[in-house]
């Protein structure tokens, strides 16, 4: 883990340092005299309604909680929390395997004005912290954020029976965490953009009063060094901003928890009765009023998702992508209208990875049409002529594969499969595409994308990494084999049962163990086609056997894969 995270995790973030006494890049709090609450908040917390997918801002959470989350993520454990109406507990003694990887982004700036104590509290996960205790229904909170990356775990599901000692009361685990810099300003008279003044980037509109509160963390100037190639946040721009929390599943794993659907999960969630919007979490009853410009559509409502995507909801564009990707293939998928296509592409550019598969498929449409109608591409012309013909479509090709790379890094199976087959597989058709794209070494290009995705917590990318390595495409040297087993374990957490089984075999003590294992499936690797060969390779290359880990991985494989992976 980076020195930045170690430093940040070791230092509790104070929320009571005055603005004038602090330099940039540390938490700052400007406190005036708050007004006396006139109307108590109408938010009626129901703990049952908190046990859902949540995406709370945590900028007003106590520094000790934020620090505990950072430390758990650093220590190769999944961060587990207990949510209630009164408090949030980080269960520091709850040990759940599953480390976090970082995916860098180009700096993404947002400014959100949240109005009313109810919506503010819902936007922070339903739990009341800090200045929120004094908010009334006329309160406003203006939030400016610069997101430079996401930490994510490949773990897709965490069940109650996987929890051990120290996990009592657990309700959610941290699936992802947005990091960067933020500034927040609160008060009843503030306007949109007030938080930018705290960043030192806004133009004062005279809104500051003795009731305004402000705090910030991170240096906007340090965030300028962010890029998609970064393996960690820039120094001074790694503050936790927002979490994606997945509820603990009651019971045990089943085949329903295996990764089957195409697409990428949309990171957005509010307490029940609220919905994400351009105004934070707002009451569902108010989303169709003039209060909001756009809101997150229902997950499977195509018409509503198209409407909200067009209105400006990037997450709705992500839902639309998942709907279309699961209902049609590239040959039958309808062309989007130009305005809707621009919005889907903008959502992908805005780091909503769920929108990227649809952007890629739409960019590929003119190429698909040419492959069936162009006499050179659809006929028996020499490969050299096909390459020249495809070069006419180099721009949409590169655009499509650019979107596909982002989608693969974020975990989309179809995108990763397209990257692997085009960049790495044999055959003149793939060679023609590589030449037309200008890819000189497909193996290196694919490996870069897949490893970035796997290191960033993409189970789909890890699935392709371990298969490519075991098929000899990355070689079967010691370091490649060890990396393949690690990738298989991550893919296992992402819901891939065969990955669980393959990793389990690598930890068997000797080939004879294979005779008694319930694992039984056809290997996808060309070079390691049996349990015995996997065990022999692991022992010959020096991977230490681990019976406890092998049993855990085997159990997970059987629960996720059922009869397709394990004997009865």
pLDDT at 391: 86
pLDDT at 505: 95
Angle at 254 between CA 248 and CA 255, to 5 degrees: 130
Distance CA 12, CA 532 (A): 50
User: Would you give the distance in Å from CA 419 to the centre of its chain?
Assistant: 19
Q: Lowest-pLDDT range, 142-146, 162-166, 198-202, 514-518? A: 198-202
pLDDT at 128: 66
Distance CA 108, CA 121 (A): 24
Distance CA 449, CA 408 (A): 8
> Which pLDDT tens digit goes with each residue over 364-386?
888 888 888 889 888 888 888 88
What backbone torsions phi and psi does residue 108 show, to the nearest 5 degrees?
A: -115, 120
Among 267, 299, 295, which Cα is nearest to 279's? 295
The answer to whether the CB of 81 falls within 8 A of the CB of 90 is: yes
The answer to whether the CB of 84 falls within 8 A of the CB of 46 is: no
Cα dihedral sign, 557-562-564-567:
positive
Conformation bin of residue 472: beta by default, left when phi > 0, alpha when psi is -120 to 50: left
Q: Lowest-pLDDT range, 43-52, 109-118, 287-296, 314-323? A: 43-52
Confidence class of residue 547 from pLDDT cuts 50, 70 and 90? very high
User: What is the average pLDDT across 517-530?
Assistant: 77
The answer to whether the CB of 494 falls within 8 A of the CB of 411 is: yes
Q: Lowest-pLDDT range, 17-26, 182-191, 533-542, 554-563? A: 17-26
User: In the structure, how many helices (H) and strands (E) does the chain have?
Assistant: 20, 10
Using the predicted structure, report yes or no on whether residue 7 has a pLDDT greater than 60: no
Using the predicted structure, report yes or no on whether residue 477 has a pLDDT greater than 90: no
User: What is the average pLDDT across 343-360?
Assistant: 89
User: What is the average pLDDT across 305-333?
Assistant: 88
Using the predicted structure, report yes or no on whether residue 224 has a pLDDT greater than 60: yes
Residue with token string 């990494």: 465
Q: Lowest-pLDDT range, 325-329, 398-402, 466-470? A: 325-329
State which of 307-316, 386-395, 443-452 shows the largest mean pLDDT: 307-316
Q: Lowest-pLDDT range, 260-269, 273-282, 441-450, 456-465? A: 260-269
pLDDT at 43: 56
pTM of the model: 0.82
pLDDT at 213: 67
User: What is the average pLDDT across 26-44?
Assistant: 41
Using the predicted structure, report yes or no on whether residue 210 has a pLDDT greater than 50: no
Using the predicted structure, report yes or no on whether residue 26 has a pLDDT greater than 70: no
Q: Lowest-pLDDT range, 88-92, 392-396, 400-404, 474-478? A: 474-478
User: What is the average pLDDT across 548-567?
Assistant: 94
pLDDT at 40: 42
User: What is the average pLDDT across 391-400?
Assistant: 89
Q: Would you tell me the crossing angle of helices 394-410 and 356-363 to the nearest 10 degrees?
A: 160
pLDDT at 212: 62
pLDDT at 209: 46
The answer to whether the CB of 393 falls within 8 A of the CB of 436 is: yes
User: Would you give the distance in Å from CA 560 to the centre of its chain?
Assistant: 22
pLDDT at 267: 79
Q: Lowest-pLDDT range, 25-29, 99-103, 282-286, 489-493? A: 25-29
The answer to whether the CB of 185 falls within 8 A of the CB of 212 is: yes
Using the predicted structure, report yes or no on whether residue 41 has a pLDDT greater than 50: no
Using the predicted structure, report yes or no on whether residue 458 has a pLDDT greater than 90: no
Domain boundaries, the chain: 3-256+267-272, 471-568
Using the predicted structure, report yes or no on whether residue 222 has a pLDDT greater than 80: yes
Average pLDDT, the chain: 82
pLDDT at 232: 92
Confidence class of residue 290 from pLDDT cuts 50, 70 and 90? low
Using the predicted structure, report yes or no on whether residue 35 has a pLDDT greater than 50: no
User: What is the average pLDDT across 346-371?
Assistant: 88
Q: Would you call 266 helix, strand, or coil by DSSP? A: coil
Q: Would you tell me the crossing angle of helices 497-506 and 459-470 to the nearest 10 degrees?
A: 50
- 395 CB-contact burial (10 Å; exposed 0-12 / middle 13-18 / buried 19+): exposed
Among 335, 374, 338, 378, which Cα is nearest to 358's? 335
Distance CA 345, CA 351 (A): 10
The helix or strand, by DSSP H or E, that contains position 282, with its residue range, turns out to be strand 280-283
Using the predicted structure, report yes or no on whether residue 33 has a pLDDT greater than 50: no
pLDDT at 134: 59
Q: Lowest-pLDDT range, 22-26, 220-224, 272-276, 300-304? A: 22-26
pLDDT at 53: 87
pLDDT at 525: 64
Residue with the larger pLDDT of the pair 519 and 330: 519
> Which pLDDT tens digit goes with each residue over 247-272?
999 989 999 999 876 778 887 888 88
């Amino acid at each position: 883990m980076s020195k930045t995270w170690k430093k940040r995790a070791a230092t509790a973030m104070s929320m009571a340092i005055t603005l004038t006494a602090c330099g940039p890049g540390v938490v700052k709090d400007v406190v005036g005299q708050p007004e006396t609450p006139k109307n108590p908040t109408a938010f009626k917390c129901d703990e049952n309604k908190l046990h859902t997918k949540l995406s709370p801002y945590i900028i007003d959470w106590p520094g000790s909680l934020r620090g505990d989350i950072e430390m758990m993520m650093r220590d190769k454990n999944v961060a587990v929390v207990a949510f209630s109406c009164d408090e949030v507990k980080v269960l520091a003694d709850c040990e759940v395997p599953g480390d976090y990887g970082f995916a860098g982004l180009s700096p993404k700036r947002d400014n959100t004005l949240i109005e009313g104590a109810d919506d503010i509290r819902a936007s922070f996960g339903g739990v009341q912290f800090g200045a929120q205790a004094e908010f009334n229904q006329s309160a406003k909170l203006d939030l400016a954020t610069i997101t430079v990356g996401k930490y994510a775990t490949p773990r897709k599901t965490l069940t109650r029976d996987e929890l051990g000692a120290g996990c009592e009361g657990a309700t959610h685990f941290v699936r992802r965490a947005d990091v960067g810099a933020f500034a927040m300003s609160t008060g009843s008279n503030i306007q949109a953009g007030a938080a930018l003044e705290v960043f030192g980037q806004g133009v004062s509109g005279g809104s500051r009063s003795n009731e305004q509160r402000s705090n910030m963390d991170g240096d906007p100037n340090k965030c300028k060094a962010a890029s998609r190639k970064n393996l960690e946040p820039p120094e001074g721009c790694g503050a936790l901003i927002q979490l994606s929390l997945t509820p603990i599943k009651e019971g045990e794993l089943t085949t329903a928890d295996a990764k089957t659907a195409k697409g990428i999960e949309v990171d957005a969630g509010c307490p029940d009765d609220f919905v994400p919007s351009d105004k934070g979490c707002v009451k569902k009853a108010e989303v169709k009023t003039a209060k909001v410009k756009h809101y997150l559509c229902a997950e499977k409502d195509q018409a509503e998702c198209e409407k909200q995507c067009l209105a400006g909801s990037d997450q709705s564009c992500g839902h639309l992508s998942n709907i279309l990707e699961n209902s049609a293939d590239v040959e039958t998928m309808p062309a989007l209208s130009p305005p809707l296509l621009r919005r889907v592409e903008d959502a992908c550019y805005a780091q909503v990875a769920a929108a990227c598969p649809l952007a890629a498929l739409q960019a590929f449409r003119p190429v698909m049409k040419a492959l069936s109608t162009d006499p050179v591409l659809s006929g028996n012309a020499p490969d050299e002529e096909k390459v020249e013909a495809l070069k006419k479509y180099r721009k949409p090709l590169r655009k499509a594969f650019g979107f596909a790379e982002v989608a693969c890094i974020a975990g989309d199976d179809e995108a990763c499969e397209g990257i692997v087959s085009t960049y790495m597989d044999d055959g003149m058709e793939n060679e023609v595409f590589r030449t037309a794209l200008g890819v000189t070494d497909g193996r290196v290009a694919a490996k870069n994308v897949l490893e970035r995705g796997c290191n960033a917590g993409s189970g789909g990318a890890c699935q392709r990494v371990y298969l490519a390595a075991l098929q000899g495409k990355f070689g079967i040297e010691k370091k490649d084999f060890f990396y393949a087993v690690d990738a298989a374990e991550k893919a296992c957490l992402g819901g891939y049962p065969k990955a669980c089984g393959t990793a389990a075999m690598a930890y068997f003590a000797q080939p004879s163990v294979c005779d008694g294992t319930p694992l039984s499936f056809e290997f996808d690797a060309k070079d390691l086609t049996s349990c015995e060969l996997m065990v022999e390779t692991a022992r010959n290359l020096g991977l230490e056997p681990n019976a406890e880990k092998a049993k855990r991985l085997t159990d997970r494989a059987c629960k996720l894969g059922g009869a397709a992976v394990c004997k009865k």
